[in-house]
Amino acid sequence: MEHPKLVQVVTELDQLEHERLRLIADDVYCCLGTTIRQAGSQEAFYKVDFLYVVRLAALTAANFAAQFLVVSALGADVNSRFYYSRVKGEMEDAVRQTPFRAIHIFRPSLLLGERAKPRLGERLGAMVLALARPLLRGGWRKYRPVTAATVAQAMLRAADDDGGGIRVHSSEIL
């Protein structure tokens, strides 16, 4: 993507600190994430979904970015029995400690969209949830699958909001 105000920094995430002087922005969008299966281990998953995200937040906060907008997951909770949800909750708690004017945490349900590597479980889940969609009303709306494009649009809208503080956005409001 090209835009006069857009600078894309491409780097190995283990080398993120070396790029800190190029990580200057008003708004930082972080959509980094994987699965334990794709990462290959819980340790590798933790590195991607916690360490890299929190490092990016810390580096850009130190460079005086105003907002951090991050994709987490439905069910993120530091006390979760599920490792995936627990790590997402830990990431959210760590990001909340960074000194941004505004932090937006997006907690989508199942994310739909094209993937470099197809995920069979997600395909099956998407089919089941598509059939159940009409039944997912009220408090159950948060379980409706959402496209990555919808989340991206919601992130852009949130960045345009002049309010500060910490806000959590779940699938039912995207």
CATH number of the domain that residue 31 is part of: 3.40.50.720
Which pLDDT score, from 0 to 100, does residue 5 have? Answer: 80
Does any domain span residue 77?
A: yes
Which pLDDT score, from 0 to 100, does residue 9 have? Answer: 84
Does any domain span residue 42?
A: yes
Q: For the chain, what percent of residues have pLDDT higher than 90?
A: 65
Q: For the chain, what percent of residues have pLDDT higher than 70?
A: 80
Q: Is the pLDDT of residue 136 over 60?
A: no
**pLDDT, the chain, mean:** 87
**Residue 147: DSSP 8-state:** E
Which range is least confidently modeled, 3-12, 43-52, 151-160?
3-12
Average pLDDT of 66-94? 97
Q: Is the pLDDT of residue 142 over 60?
A: yes
Does any domain span residue 10?
A: no
Determine the Cα–Cα distance for residues 102 and 93; give it in Å rounded to an integer.
Answer: 14
53-62 helix and 83-96 helix, angle to the nearest 10 degrees? 10
- Domain tally, the chain: 1
Q: Categorize the per-residue pLDDT at 120 as very low, low, confident or very high, splitting at 50, 70 and 90.
A: low
Does any domain span residue 106?
A: yes
Give the range of the structural domain holding residue 149, as residue numbers without chain letter: 23-173
Does any domain span residue 124?
A: yes
Which pLDDT score, from 0 to 100, does residue 123 have? Answer: 57
Q: Is the pLDDT of residue 7 over 90?
A: no
What is the number of H-type helices and E-type strands within the chain?
Answer: 6, 6
